[in-house]
Amino acid sequence: MFDNNTLARFQDLETPFYYYDLALLGETLQSCKSAADKYGFHVHYAFKANFNERVLQAIQAVGFGADCVSGNEVKKAIEIGFAPEKVVFAGVGKSDREIIQALDNDIYCFNVESVQELGVINGLAAERGKIARVAIRINPNVDAHTHHYITTGLEENKFGVNQWELKACAEELRRSANLKLIGIHFHIGSQITNLEIFRSLCVRANELSQWFEDHGFQLQILNVGGGFGVNYQDPEGSAVNDFASYFEVFDKFLERKPGQEVHFELGRALVAQSGNLISRVLYVKNGLKKNFLILDAGMTELMRPALYQAYHKIENISADASGDLVKYDVVGPICESTDWLGKEVELPLSKRGDLIAIRTAGAYGEVMASGYNLRDIVGSEYSE
């Protein structure tokens, strides 16, 4: 990925910056689309993973829909060119202003996360003389077996309607003249690499789909969310996810009625490997117990290690890789003890000015950047 021409180009650029391999992104998108099309599945891209404009343009061009979790994401999706009839709006705390904006743009569907939200959307739709299409996000109580900060499908989580509330949802829907139930929705967590967990989701989705059928609701869509993880340890060897195996699980185990659509909301799996954070070594501190590489990028540029204790492969792309390896704690310049990017990382002997690549940073990287410490917001570079 980082050939001599790329490294020469990097030397002239101000760091830190996000570097996107648009060719790899395109390959990933096409792989996903081909695997989904085999079964007639519909994919919506989860905007929260990355809303870099060049990335969004590539995703829109492939024909995917948009999964949004804020009013501004809905607005951005439509500005980029995503058709309103392919935009879905989720989120546990939609404001009236955001709901009105989505209604005015005639989006495809609201993924509703509480009984109270049904009433609010119905009232706002009635004021505008509109019928709002909704899907009920149900908490299936399926454990994603991932980091507890990114698990969303358990009863202890804030997301979705719990199963004992379904009767109340059905009653609210029956008395809401300005709502049309078109489906049910699930999302159990993020960075799931064990496909058996998705099989468990299918079992619960089948049961809950039947519950709605038994109560007189005809479901047009089953939205199983996203959460498909990527390989952070081996970004070169797993540059493109195994979408064929992922979609095959749902084809085998998710029961569908004739004409019923299956929708997915993938984010990380589409964009993570195409993005890398490029930084420079500012200082090297050698100690008795620890060696530190202090970079010009930190938690303001990549929050995941500080927030989730997340792992990213870190490479010194300037140093001679054939030399002896040294263990470094790779840290940033931010005035916080949690400002680290990797601990006990084995790297070639490193020096001030060396270029460092933090891999698999295309998801939940640039989008979470902040101006804490009055830092400049990180920029972007691209390869075609």
**What pLDDT, in 10s, does the model give residues 211-233?**
999 999 999 999 999 999 999 99
At 147, the pLDDT band (50, 70, 90 cuts) reads: very low
pLDDT at 300 over 60: yes
* 55 and 73 fall within a common domain: yes
pLDDT value at position 322? 83
Q: How many domains does the chain have?
A: 2
Q: Whole-model pTM above 0.75?
A: yes
Q: Which ranges of 86-136 does DSSP label H, i.e. alpha helix? A: 96-104, 115-127
User: CATH number, domain at 330?
Assistant: 2.40.37.10
Confidence band (pLDDT; 50, 70, 90) for 148? very low
Tell me, yes or no, whether 293 and 227 share the same domain: no
Say yes or no: 33 and 57 in one domain: yes
Domain match, 285 and 245 both: no
Residues 241 and 293 both lie in one domain: no
Instruction: List, for residues 93-142, the tens digit of each pLDDT value.
Output: 999 999 999 999 999 999 999 999 999 999 999 999 999 999 999 988 77
Measuring CA to CA, which residue among 254, 276, 291 is closest to residue 360?
276
Contacts of 349 (CB under 8 A, 6+ apart): 319, 323, 324, 326
SS3 annotation, 171-238: HHHHCCCCEEEEEEECCCECCECCHHHHHHHHHHHHHHHHHHHHCCCCCCEEECCCCECCCCCCCCCC
User: Does 289 lie in the same domain as 242?
Assistant: no
> Do 77 and 39 belong together in one domain?
yes
> Is the pLDDT assigned to residue 156 strictly greater than 60?
no
Same domain (yes/no): 328, 199: no
The residue range of the domain holding 332 is: 4-17+273-383
Residue 247 is part of a domain; what is its CATH number? 3.20.20.10
**Is residue 12 located within the same domain as residue 43?**
no
pLDDT band at 154 (very low <50, low <70, confident <90, very high): very low
Domain co-membership, 257 together with 361:
no
